Each structure stands twice: as structure tokens, then as C-alpha cells.
Chains A and B, each alone.
Chain A
Amino acid sequence: MGAVGRSLRGVRLPTRPRDWQLMGRTARLVLALPTYAVVAALASVASLTAFVVSLNVPVFLDLVVGGPLPLGSRLTVFGELYPFVGTNFTPAQGLLLVAVALLTGIDIAMATYHFREHGLDLQQGGAGAAGVVLGTLGAGCAACGSAVLLGLLSLVGVSTTLLFLPLDGLEFALGAVVVLTLSIYWLADGMRGGEINGCPVDI
């Protein structure tokens, strides 16, 4: 069973405690480098911002970027789009969105490090991109934006009854967490045996 758990058609999964330790250690070593810590922070903020703005593009363009409002009002409106500031997300949705944003930042920082140092393979890049897509879908659906999912599902002939999700679409944000976690694991696994900033990656 262990062999089955660790290998699904050759795909490695983080099934052992030391796999998670490897992920944590690799992420810590990468983020200990100031450049990559900044990359992670910027990517996290950018991904969260892109997400909340994408849900309310008209408000962003009409009130934050355009329109006659004074600067203070523009900033207030902009801030109200974010979870925990505005009321567009429940605390659970907000936590998940922040988690997806943080994981996205870590993933991009690690991918950037790996890309610059070692190159990157298809599996790792694909998982990161899938995480971004799932994260976007998740919050969109959670905001009753079922049209996104409906449009995508209709392309492959899936019944719209699948829209009646027990978690109101948070399933997709959870999916994004899983995909991003896998991406981080594969990146860490890819760096196994190497060194980051002089420190060995292996546990």
C-alpha cells in the first residue's frame, strides 16, 4: 500500500512526515533569501489583489482607477474588496483565499529559485498554473459567481446540478490548496540533494 500511496502512475505524493518536513525546510531556506522572500510577498499580494479585483472589475475601474472620487475614498473602496476588510467573503472564505495567496507566493518564489538555479520540468510548472486557475474558480464560485463554473462545465457537457456544491464553491479553493501544496512538494523534491544558500536541502 505504501508503494501505491507514494506512486500514482509515477507521480510522487507527500505521504510521509519527512515529505512535509522536506517541503517546510526547502520553503524556509528559499524564503530566508531576502530576494525570494520579497518575491513571495509580492506574489502573494498580487495574487490576492488580482483575485478580488477580478470579482469586481467594474468597481475597480469606475471607482478606484476612474471616476471623480477623492484619493481617500478610492483607497477605502479598494480596501473594501479584500477579505476581512470588506464583507464580500465569510471568514472561512477569507482564510482560504489568504492561504491560497500565501501558497501561491511560496510556490512562485520556489519556482523562481528552481527556475533560475536548475530549470523546471513540465509537471512542476503545470501544477502551479493549475493552482492559480483553481484558486480563481474557487472564490468566484464562492461569491455565487456560478457562471464561471457553468461556462467551463458546459464546455465539457457536465450537468449544471454540479453547481450545487455543499460548500458553495469553496471546494475549488480547497482544490487550489491541494494543487499548490503538491506543486511546492514537487519543487522541493526536485531540489532534494542540492543546497540552498549553502544549506543542504535533505533532511
Chain B
Amino acid sequence: MHRRRYLTLAGAGVVGGLAGCGGSGGSGGTSGGRSIDDHPAAADLEEQPRQGDLGGNVVLAFEDPSCTQCRRFHENTVPDIEDGIVDAGEGAYVVRTYPIIYPWGKPATQALESTVARSEGAFWALFDHYFAEQDQFDEGNVLDRTEQFLSASTDLDGSVVVEDARTEAHDDAVQADIAAAEAADLPKQTPIVLLFRDGEFVTRANGSVSYDLIAEALGVS
């Protein structure tokens, strides 16, 4: 009796644990080989902020500026993507915002979309700034600090951008990214990195995965 109880409990624990993480990490393979043109996560890809040229390999990352894992991905992996893929002419790094972690990520995302509508260079500067100063932001100060940064460090008028963010003037772009994630059945976690090799979907990686993993998947050095 005791043995049976133990095995039942242990089995339930393992199954429950794996089921929980399956929900987090996905429930199975992701049907590699699908064309990037048909992949819902890549809808309107040309309109998204990117580094590098489309047409070859694509690293498509769904990121939340408030997510600590995204910050680590940005610090540890993105510089190598820029060196090994973007600058080497092997493909493009594309970002879609996915504000699901902390509340300040939502107004920050509105500000990012209002920024990229005016200047892609300013978008990347602001995106970097959010990660570099991530600990300093909260829901109450994020737009004020955003305005200060944009006015001081870019050619944009921060007050105009932030006013757009407050009124959610570019909410269509925010919602398009969320809709793309939902249409692709992505889990609610960030970062999520979708890899396309020569225009064909390879896999989806969850978390702050390494450049070596991405490079092996895409066949680049």
C-alpha cells in the first residue's frame, strides 16, 4: 500500500512538473520548414524594426523591455548576432515587442512603437536604454524617463513621442505584434526567438539562448 502510494505520488509529481513546463516551453516540435512568408509570427515582417537585410536568415525575437531574461539576451547574445549574422551579411535580426512581464513594459512598448514610427535609429537607442537601465523603471516614471532620454540622446523631440505613447497613438503596431504572437501560438513568456534559415522556419527557442545555439541552427559561424 505504501509503495503504491509512493509511486503514484512520484509519478504525479513528475507528470505534473513536466506538463507545467511544457506549457511554458511549448508542447512539441514546431514544424520546421515552413516558409517565413506564411509564418504568422512573421506577419508584416518588413515593417518591423530590424538590423540587416531580409531574404536570408532571420532571427525574429519577441521581447519585453521589462523582462530580465530579455535584458540578458540583449547583453549576451544580441552583440554576437550583430557580429556573426548582421554584419557578416548572413541575415537579419528583427524585433517584435511583446509586453507581458512587468506593467511598465506596456507604456514602454507604446513609446517604442511611437519612436520607431519616426526613427528606427532612435528605436534601437531607446530599446538599448530600457535594458541598460532596466532596474530604474517603473510604471510611474517610465514615460518621463523616456522623454528625457529621447530628447537628450536622439534627434527626436521626446515630449511629442511620449504624448503619442500616452494617447496610444501607435497602438495598432503594438497590437499587431501581440496578434502575431497569438496567431503563432507562442507561449506568454519572453524572450522567444524564432529562427528562419534561408527563408524557412527552423525552430523556436525560449529564453536567453546563446549565440552558439542560434549559429548552429542557422548554419553560420
Contact = CB atoms under 8 A, between A and B. Distances in A.
A113 B20 CA distance: 29
A81 to B, nearest CB: 8
A63 B6 CA distance: 36
Interface string B178-221: 00000000011111000000000011111111111100110000
A147 B187 contact: yes
A7 interface: no
Nearest to B23: A148
Contacts of A90: 72
Given A121-B2, A136-B18, A57 B26 contact: yes
Interface stretch (B8-16, B51-59, B89-97, B167-175): B8-16
Interface residues of B, number: 56
Contacts of B10: 125, 128-129, 132
A145 interface: yes
B30 interface: yes
B29 A168 contact: no
Contact of A144 (B7, B14, B32, B190): B190
A163 to B, nearest CB: 8
B189 A58 contact: no
A62 B32 contact: yes
A67 interface: yes
Contacts of B77: 87
B21 A54 contact: yes
Contact of A80 (B25, B26, B187, B209): B209
A121 B101 CA distance: 41
B207 A56 contact: yes
Contact residues of A: prevailing secondary structure: helix
A164 B25 contact: no
B202 A63 contact: yes
Give chain A's interface residue range (CB within 8 Å of chain B): 35 or more
Contact of B20 (A120, A129, A152): A152
A57 B32 contact: no
B21 A58 contact: no
Interface centre among B14, B27, B70 (most CB of A within 10 A): B14
Given A144-B207, A148-B23, A58 B29 contact: yes
Interface centre among B10, B24, B206, B216 (most CB of A within 10 A): B24
A80 B30 contact: no
B20 A57 contact: no
B121 interface: no
Contacts of A146: 100-101, 188-189
Contacts of A57: 22, 25-29
B2 A55 contact: no
Given A86-B213, A146-B189, 11 more contacts: A59-B204, A63-B216, A63-B217, A66-B29, A77-B213, A88-B208, A120-B6, A125-B9, A136-B17, A144-B64, A145-B187
23 contacts: A50-B14, A55-B24, A56-B207, A57-B27, A58-B29, A61-B30, A63-B203, A66-B29, A67-B32, A80-B210, A80-B216, A81-B213, A88-B208, A120-B2, A125-B5, A125-B6, A125-B7, A132-B14, A139-B21, A144-B67, A144-B189, A147-B187, A147-B189
Closest 6 CB pairs of A and B: A129-B13, A125-B6, A145-B24, A54-B21, A136-B17, A61-B29
